Chain A
Amino acid sequence: MRVLFFAQVREATRVAEGELDVADVDASALWNALLQRWPTLAAHRENTRLARNGSYAARDEIFRAGDEVALLPPVSGG
């Protein structure tokens, strides 16, 4: 799956996006894979929301191989 990073989360990983080789995982398993690949995300896990294919992920969302996943730190638009 393609993973997108924004704002403080992008500054933590130092990349805007990356590929992650996981499929059919829940948010908890996805976070484990994310932290293994980008350990600096650990500080952001608590307040970062996940989006799947352009919408906020539900609590029980399952993330698939071809998804676009985005890590969204607290927003500050307007």
Chain B
Amino acid sequence: MKIRVEITKEPLMAREAGRADGGIGAVVEFAGIVRRDEDGASISALHYEAYEAMAKTEMERIVGELAARFSCQAVEVVHRIGRVPVGEASITVRIEAKHRAEAFSLLTEFMNRLKQDVPIWKKVGE
């Protein structure tokens, strides 16, 4: 395990710079990364396919449902399809919320629902 702890006077997360409204207390960013080890085998990449139109509306529907339970200001989801090599991200999720607890809860619940209901499939590839 690699540990790095630092204290700085410089701004963090350049993307947040200039945020004027002051209403966001937490930004949670998640990336799902393709691991080398898949079901005990060593792989070089995963191939993802999607029923794209439905996958998009299902993800929007799930986020909409969860947003009613967990108060968040913004949610961005990007799922990659096609060949995704080991070490690269297959999905990124970014959540802005007033408080971190809602953002973490929404993220966890979203990923669970994605894996149940969103028509995207992966398989081991070259």
Q: Which residues of A contact B (CB under 8 A)?
A: 4, 6-8, 51, 54-56, 70, 72-73, 75-78
Smallest CB–CB gap between A2 and chain B, Å? 13
Contact (A75, B119) CB under 8 Å given A6-B51, A51-B51, A70-B51: yes
Say which residue of A55, A70, A77 sits within 8 Å of B48 (CB atoms).
A77
Enumerate chain A residues within 8 angstroms of B120, measured Cβ to Cβ: 75-78
Q: Which residue of A lies closest to B32 (CB)?
A: A78
Question: Considering the chains assembled together, what is the distance between the CA atoms of A73 and B79 in angstroms?
Answer: 19
The number of chain B residues with a CB under 8 A from chain A is 23
B residues in contact (CB < 8 Å) with A: 32, 48-51, 53-55, 57, 79, 90-91, 111, 114-123
Of B32, B51, B117, most buried by chain A (CB within 10 Å of CB) is B51
Give chain A residues whose Cβ lies under 8 Å from the Cβ of B79. Answer: 77-78
